[in-house]
Chains A and B, each alone.
Chain A
Amino acid sequence: MVRLAVVGLGKMGLSHHAMINAHPRVKLEAVCDATGYVLDVLNKYTGVRTYTDFDAMLREVELDAIIIATPSNMHSMMVKAALDKGLHVFCEKPFCLDTKDGELATRLATEKGLVNQVGYHNRFVGAFQEVKRLLDCDAIGKVTHVLAEAYGPVVLKPKGSSWRTQRTEGGGCLYDYAAHPLNLVNWYFGAPQGVGGTVLNSVFSKETDDEVFGSLFFADGKSAQISVNWSDESYRKMTTRISIWGTAGRITADRQECQVYLRDTASLPAGYQQGWNVRYTTDLTEPVWFYLRGEEYSAQLDYFVKCIEEKRAHDNVNSFHAALMTDKVISMMIADAAKGASVTSDEALPVAPKKKKGFFGGRH
């Protein structure tokens, strides 16, 4: 049995708590949260040991692993403390707000041979996994462009202050929403060389961004565009979508399905045909031991447990190393956005080379 604790009982922490508590090979030893109230109820009705003091929990409870789902600005401190204690760590996304902290934690986990994972659950969604498989076998040829999007109804009016409303605390659309499509782009294509044209715009929030746009530039000339808005009420819930153009076809995928168009120049993967192909997540998804809100959330925790049992601390899906790549892109986008427009309307523009007059004279 893996002895585990959960720290942070917000929406993610509470659902991690429920799923991992139901896992047949995990013993949930303790939970930790700042609000004593929720803890009292949990303790009274479920008997779980509860703590409001994180350090006391680490001192007093014998653990193998921990799930960290606290506000983002607390991640680095808690991850480090847990690693120092020799615990395997599952941390919610975004990983660390300061990439230096992220690098330190990544190094520490590697040195100690501890399993390290970050909650980018899309990597456990059947349709997004199918995209990865198709790209790995070059199904759509050489990729030239990617559009990574996420939309949903989170901030629909001005509201009071909490950690989620402040970028300095790891709140905002960039950290919360855009991190997901960015992480998918990193998974599929690695780290970009640079970013440009980043817009971090507020729609309703006073202290952070509600929409995120920008470009990522890759070494081989490939580009990606990010378009994210969490103030879009036309979506019932968060929708993440990725579209990829290649020389031999196009892929569009969201949580539900993976639509693939393959040209006659494509080398067809098994089961695929020239023209349109649709694969549904419902067909691509493996059963899970316990379902709360999507197989991917259960699957990522089961994977974490398996990595601990099989002592697979290296080369796992959603490692700190992989999440750090996304943290770095986020930092680059924040720096880029602060610069504003790269060319302004009052600048003298280079004169376009004059075209030769055409046969019919002057018209172009």
Chain B
Amino acid sequence: MDRLLFGDNQFFGVNHMSEEKARAQAMRFQDIGAVIEVLDNAMDEGVTSFMCTTHDRIALVCDHMRADPSRYANFKFMPCMPYAHKYANAVTEDGILGTLKRFLPDEGLLNAAMRGGMSLAKKDIEGITTLLVDAEMKMFSGLNTPVIFLQNVVVDLLLGLGFNEAFRIFADHVKNRYGAEPGFITMNMPMLLDALETVGVENPIVCSNINKLGFRMCGGFEAYERALREKKFRAIAMSVFASGAIPPKEAIEWICQQPNIEAIVFGASSRGNIRNTKELVDRYWPAAAMETA
């Protein structure tokens, strides 16, 4: 895995600080060409892994890259699924079952199981999960997807419910069907690591907020520090700037001193910011410079 991964919040009007900034970004990136231009900039700066939501508009980026395989041969997508708002709105309108019906490509499976109040067998749950994953993966057909992530709202919902078996099902499917590494995004990293352990998902890739301020590190800063020191997992740090609350140099210097972190995911809208982050990481994390050189 590359040390520096490019995120996509900035492209979709997600900003934890300000609605105005979020809207300005949504306007700026309305044209998919503007998104691709930033991705090209990132690539030219040596950042070639893109952690992206399975938002409909990402399909356009995929089309663009498929059409120019020589330019994008080394570009790696790390899909994060599902795009949660799509499902959340659907659950509000149609309930849980209605949502499944709406998004499953093949209704037969669910309908068969539902007839006569028959309970869902284990294979049905596996079938539904894998069908949903496959539906989200369609847009990446023919592209590199070395890691496939389950997105944090879903991970943390399942985690809270105690539905840990779903993590196992997801991990197995992603490995077997796509030859990819399963990844999990969470706001509750220490708790998730324990849950993954109970279902035998070994040495998992886990992406969570890790920053000097402890911003959105649920379970507490110390539990995160302990997990990084003692647990066997592949940590990806997000929100390293704590939504802009920590100056870039200070944030990167600190994150590079933490043990066991394999990658940092960051978002940027300009080539200058991408370069600055890359330079900081190369300076404070020398191994990264060697690996990407």
Using Cβ atoms and an 8 Å threshold, which residues of chain B touch A1?
Answer: none
Using Cβ atoms and an 8 Å threshold, which residues of chain A touch B158?
Answer: 18
Interface string of A16-29 (1 = CB under 8 A from B): 01110110000000
Q: A18-B156, A282-B215, A290-B188 are in contact. Are A41 and B120 (CB under 8 A)?
A: yes
| Residues of chain B in range 76-102 having any CB-CB distance to chain A below 8 Å | 85, 88-89, 91-97
Q: A45-B165, A236-B12, A282-B245 are in contact. Are A37 and B160 (CB under 8 A)?
A: no
A291 and B156: CB pair below 8 A? yes
- The total of chain B residues at the interface (CB under 8 A) is 50
| Any A CB within 8 A of the CB of B240 | no
| Residues of chain A in range 218-263 having any CB-CB distance to chain B below 8 Å | 236-237, 239, 241, 254-257
Minimum CB–CB distance for B242 against chain A, Å: 7
| Any B CB within 8 A of the CB of A357 | no
B93's partner among A36, A41, A159, A256 (CB-CB below 8 A) is A159
Q: Which of B13-21, B59-67, B171-179 binds A?
A: B13-21
Total A-B pairs in contact (CB under 8 Å)? 124
| Any B CB within 8 A of the CB of A137 | no
CB closest residue in chain A, given B113: A37
B92's partner among A10, A282, A283, A290 (CB-CB below 8 A) is A10
| Main SS at interface, chain B | helix
| Any A CB within 8 A of the CB of B125 | yes
| Any A CB within 8 A of the CB of B220 | yes
Interface string of B9-34 (1 = CB under 8 A from A): 00011111111001000100000000
| Any A CB within 8 A of the CB of B243 | yes
- 17 further interface pairs, Cβ-Cβ under 8 Å (given A9-B96, A287-B217): A37-B120, A38-B96, A40-B119, A40-B120, A42-B163, A44-B119, A44-B122, A45-B166, A46-B162, A237-B85, A282-B245, A287-B220, A290-B160, A290-B218, A291-B218, A292-B157, A293-B153
A290 and B18: CB pair below 8 A? no
A21's partner among B16, B85, B161, B245 (CB-CB below 8 A) is B161
| Any B CB within 8 A of the CB of A354 | no
| Cα of A38 to Cα of B117 in the assembled complex, Å | 11
B156 and A41: CB pair below 8 A? no
| Cα of A38 to Cα of B125 in the assembled complex, Å | 11
A35 and B96: CB pair below 8 A? yes
| Any A CB within 8 A of the CB of B212 | no
Seen from chain B, the residues whose Cβ lies within 8 Å of a Cβ on chain A are: 12-19, 22, 26, 85, 88-89, 91-97, 114, 117, 119-120, 122, 125, 153, 156-163, 165-166, 187-188, 191, 214-220, 242-243, 245
A22 and B191: CB pair below 8 A? yes
Q: A162-B93, A280-B17 are in contact. Are A17 and B22 (CB under 8 A)?
A: no
A-B contact pairs, 10 of them (CB 8 A): A15-B157, A38-B97, A41-B125, A45-B163, A162-B93, A236-B26, A254-B19, A255-B19, A256-B18, A288-B218
